[in-house]
Structures are given as C-alpha cells and as structure tokens.
Structure 1
Amino acid sequence: MTGRRTLEFMAKPYRARWGVRASNAWMRTVIRAGLPIWTFRVLTVPGRRTGRAIETPLAVFEQDGRRYLVASYGTVNWVLNLHKEAAAPGCRLPSVPPGEGA
C-alpha cells in the first residue's frame, strides 16, 4: 500500500438543527394537548444508553390496514432506540426494505 489516502464517501449523519428541535418541541406539546396534526403521533421510547424516555413526533402512515413509521432521515437516533427496544421479548418490529413498503 502506498502512503496515499483513500477517500470514502459516506452519507453525512443527520443532526437536527435548532429549528427542527424547536418545531419538534412545539409539535409534542400540541399533540399531547389533544389537538390533531394530520397523522402525527408522539413516539416515546427508552434511550439506548440512558434508558431515559425520548419523545419524537412522527407521521404514521396507514396502508391496507397496517401502520408504518417512515425514517425520512435514515437510521437516526429514534430508529436505533426503537430497534433496541424491539429486541425485548414479545416485541415485534419488522423492517421493510425500501421500495417494498406502502
């Protein structure tokens, strides 16, 4: 191997900026107050490391009587937390490959 560096191109990890965090806080408050916002619901899942309850507003889509959560920004923290929680006995969280879902 020569001393040259090899560049690897990977997607930049998504990090919510202050505007997104402020919008999420507002949506959590409104949804908890009972005011409907389209198909949004608040997902509460324990954090992977701390176990502290993490709340994230998400859109729930229904197709053929089944409900779907869509990870618009890829494998972000709420997805990782949810997958870890789904590993608990009695919990089922199937992944649907892109293009095969609703």
Structure 2
Amino acid sequence: MRDYNFFVYITTNPKKTVLYVGVTNDLYTRMNQHYEDCKGKKKTFAGRYFCYNLIYFERHSYINHAIEREKEIKGWTRDKKVKLIDEFNPEWNFLNDEI
C-alpha cells in the first residue's frame, strides 16, 4: 500500500501577527507559492498579509483527514492556534528551510 503525504500547515507574516491555515500534498512547493503570492498576488490572503513563513505543520496519510483537521484548526480562536504552535515550535522559528 502506498503511503501518501498531506500536510496541514500554519504560516505567518514576518512580524508574526497574522496566521494562515492551509492544506497541501506538497509542502515545499506550497511554501514557494505563498512566497510568490506576496510578490504579486495581493488579492490572496497570504499575499495581502505576507504569510509565507512556515511555523507549524502536521502530516496525514489521507486527504479527508487533513481537510477535516484544517477546518477544525481554522475554526479555533487565535489563542488556541497559538497554543498549538507553541507546543510544536515554542520559539516560532520559521521552518521553510527545514522542509
């Protein structure tokens, strides 16, 4: 059986004031797309708020699980999202170079 990778992720802007939650099957490519959006696609949320710094991610084997988790996290308050990030990445280091 093939092992699939789907990722739920959170990005932030350089000042760490805005959070963006998303899902993808290619985290590396998706982070590059977020970065490119900031250069010219101001109509997108990530582009408008410069959310291209990866600070949290989790892997899922099934897309439906990843989508359910993304929706769950998107429904959370900012405080709850911050707690999740703090547990995973207490320093809020940008993880783009680690993927």
Query: What's the TM-score bracket when you normalise by the shorter of the two chains?
Result: under 0.3
Structure 1-normalised TM-score?
0.27
Structure 2-normalised TM-score?
0.28
- Structure with greater contact order relative to length (CA < 8 Å, sep ≥ 6): 2
Give the structure with the higher percent helix: 2
